[in-house]
């Protein structure tokens, strides 16, 4: 898998849990975090906090399920 594969998948899905990325690509979560970090640094992806994703503070969810990433369309400069 390369960064462009990750980009395409994120663009198609818009918002994805880390666990879904692990299952889809068959890549370790830490390796995916590194790749996601590249897109985050470019302003194309943002990590959504667990509070935003689930809305509760029970702490019973698997962190990999609530670690969400969202593709951000960059504004068009004209």
Express each pLDDT in 32-59 by its tens digit: 999 999 999 999 999 987 654 455 566 6
Structurally, the chain folds into a number of domains equal to 1
Q: Is 44 a member of any domain?
A: yes
Tokens standing for residue 74: 């960059």
Q: Is 22 a member of any domain?
A: yes
Please check the confidence at residue 65 and state whether its pLDDT lies above 70.
no
Sheet holding 45-48, edge to edge: 15-17, 68-71, 45-48
Give the distance, in angstroms, between the CA of residue 16 and the centroid of all CA atoms in the same chain: 5
Distance CA 50, CA 74 (A): 23
Task: Supply the range of the domain harboring residue 25.
Answer: 3-71
Q: Is 76 a member of any domain?
A: no
Q: Is 77 a member of any domain?
A: no
DSSP assignments along 7-46, one per residue: HHHHHHHSEEEHHHHHHHHT--HHHHHHHHHHHHHTTSEE
pLDDT over 90 percentage in the chain: 64
Categorize the per-residue pLDDT at 78 as very low, low, confident or very high, splitting at 50, 70 and 90: very low
């Amino acid at each position: 898998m390369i960064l462009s594969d990750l980009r395409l998948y994120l663009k198609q899905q818009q918002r994805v849990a880390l666990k879904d990325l692990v299952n889809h690509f068959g890549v370790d979560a830490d390796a995916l975090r590194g790749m996601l970090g590249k897109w985050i640094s470019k302003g194309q992806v943002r990590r959504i906090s667990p509070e935003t994703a689930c809305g509760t503070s029970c702490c019973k969810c698997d962190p990999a399920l609530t670690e969400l990433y969202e593709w951000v369309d960059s504004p068009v400069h004209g």
